[in-house]
Structure 1
């Protein structure tokens, strides 16, 4: 029997300072819960809190203190449902039941707690057939949602007012985030972590888990901090880490080769093989990412933004920006729209 309060966390040396009030990440553990649906998002937020001191407290809650999973593993010492707080994130993992059968999983107090949590402004995220649980709580009407491909037609039949999508990993609509299930729950959790704690921390967490953040085709393209990390080459990761930390500084292939402890020729060849782009291009994309954050989140003049993000002058910055995003930084700022379409 697994007691959630007995789990021991290995010691690790954090490299991020904890700041701000702690946010509760609540996992609603339902009868017949699928273990992977539950464990994936747990691992994402636990890694952020444990290794990088992100201000998260994980809580495992249920209508009863003990629940049997779909895999016949008993989960015990579960907490009762907590007080509602709009700052919380609530995860509803999938179960071993179909959408039609899921209607019987929710006790009335649990259904009411979900409804009131959403009304209070709490983000609610489901994994796999957990989406059907949200449907049973009346939270899918007139919203885009998704679930495991095996349940798409049945979910649509059970909840005809929902807009069930069958071609995405996860989708967000008005504070309800649903995912296709199994490993896509990890992708969704990484996306939520990026919204809350930023791309750099998410990149570190993703690397710890040996995954990278995929995109769903409907939301914004992923950050450059994550986009070119879908490889297992430690030398290239080391060079990328160095470039992230020195994004505003000039560098050379020789210096990067020294960081990676390899030759210039070997680095150039391995970097292109691992990422599909050159070290120079990656460095420029990092600079544009920093610049984009300043363009949209500040009123700094472009000359200052160019200097802070490592461009030689505003002219070089404007040229690189237009090449990357198709419009000028002035127009981008006027639109106030951070839905950048990456062309690489």
Structure 2
């Protein structure tokens, strides 16, 4: 094999970042590592003509989707606001299905999962997509097990990424799989990003994922929980603070936030721990105490259950180097 042929499929109103995160990362791997088997990247679209991205910028596809033949190393379908039209285009879907049979790996980014699903390539598989479209994908394709949490999912030779910049994490994972972790680390450093996040890391922060509370009482409690995760935040204590019964408080949280008070507090504490782990050198015991966990082991259990990764591994991934930083100063500052 003289090159790994990586075909990125785009269409009208595809997302430019979905495309560029893949193509730029692979090009950097070629430039930095000069691998013995470099990546050959082709952008393909229906008809092979110019493609207007969702942002309005125009890309020139390098090859007509209809004219590409295998074998391919990897087929990657982009997402974008035009994904529904793409998924309804029988010719485009048919060519994706054809090329998938001739590919070692098949992948999608963001709503590109809808195109793979339309081609039957996700049937019986676990997959992810952008959290905003996860329910729609699950309803339209009940034969697909849709998991809206991870930034990317691998099921056999099929990979699905959550959306936009998670394409970068997925592509770094490809580079590590193909050429080893050192080249992936070098590319990540040149891209000025953290080392690739593990695929099972959640897509989004709790504070953007949870809808804002409509009720002033719940909103005030949410602010209190976020500001004081180390305090007694049991349901009884929160109910007393709000002047309501624990049963009524549970009903309010469940209706407005989708979580009972105890589960909401646990998620908030793990989110606070993630922020401290990524930004400070505090020992694990101190992180646990500041976030309301009784011990480092309690933090580890809660963190692993939510993010699928141990706190120590999360910190190592988010802070690959601490050169030039003063851990003791950080301990004093936080």
Residue in 2 that maps onto 1:217? 200
Measured in 2, the distance between the counterparts of 1:44 and 1:146 equals 21
2:41 aligned with 1:58: yes
Residue in 1 that maps onto 2:241? none
Cα separation, partners in 2 of 1:208 and 1:221, compared to 1, 3 Å: farther
Deviation string for 1:293-319 (max 9, x for gaps)?
Answer: xxxxxxxxxxxxxxxxxxxxxxxxxxx
2:16 aligned with 1:35: yes
Cα separation, partners in 2 of 1:227 and 1:191, compared to 1, 3 Å: farther
Q: Is the 8 A contact 2:107 2:160 kept in 1?
A: yes
Measured on the aligned residues, the alpha-carbon RMSD in Å equals: 3.1
2:30 aligned with 1:45: no
Measured in 2, the distance between the counterparts of 1:90 and 1:152 equals 22
Q: Is the 8 A contact 1:48 1:201 kept in 2?
A: yes
Measured in 2, the distance between the counterparts of 1:214 and 1:232 equals 11
Measured in 2, the distance between the counterparts of 1:125 and 1:213 equals 17
Q: List 4+ stretches of structure 1 deviating above 6 A.
A: 218-222, 224-227, 271-274
Residue in 2 that maps onto 1:305? none
3-state SS of the aligned residue for 1:122? strand
May I ask how many residue pairs the two structures share in their alignment?
220
Residue in 2 that maps onto 1:95? 80
Q: Is the 8 A contact 1:142 1:161 kept in 2?
A: yes
Shift of residue 176, structure 1, vs aligned partner: 1.2
Shift of residue 88, structure 1, vs aligned partner: 1.7
3-state SS of the aligned residue for 2:40? strand
Measured in 2, the distance between the counterparts of 1:272 and 1:190 equals 33
Q: Which runs of 5+ in 2 are unaligned?
A: 202-306
TM-score (norm 1): 0.57
1:88-127 counterparts in 2 under 5 A?
88-97=73-82, 99=84, 101-104=85-88, 106-108=89-91, 110-127=92-109
Q: Is the 8 A contact 2:51 2:61 kept in 1?
A: no
Measured in 1, the distance between the counterparts of 2:16 and 2:31 equals 21
Residue in 1 that maps onto 2:206? none
Measured in 2, the distance between the counterparts of 1:35 and 1:121 equals 23
3-state SS of the aligned residue for 2:63? coil
Q: Which runs of 5+ in 1 are unaligned?
A: 1-19, 237-266, 275-344
Q: Is the 8 A contact 1:190 1:213 kept in 2?
A: yes
Residue in 1 that maps onto 2:291? none
Deviation string for 1:148-169 (max 9, x for gaps)?
Answer: 0110010011111000001111
Deviation string for 1:228-253 (max 9, x for gaps)?
Answer: 363486846xxxxxxxxxxxxxxxxx
1:257-268 counterparts in 2 under 5 A?
none
Cα separation, partners in 2 of 1:189 and 1:272, compared to 1, 3 Å: farther
1:65-84 counterparts in 2 under 5 A?
65-81=49-65, 83-84=68-69
Shift of residue 193, structure 1, vs aligned partner: 1.1
Cα separation, partners in 2 of 1:22 and 1:226, compared to 1, 3 Å: farther
TM-score (norm 2): 0.59
Shift of residue 86, structure 1, vs aligned partner: 3.9
Cα separation, partners in 2 of 1:183 and 1:132, compared to 1, 3 Å: same
2:138 aligned with 1:141: no
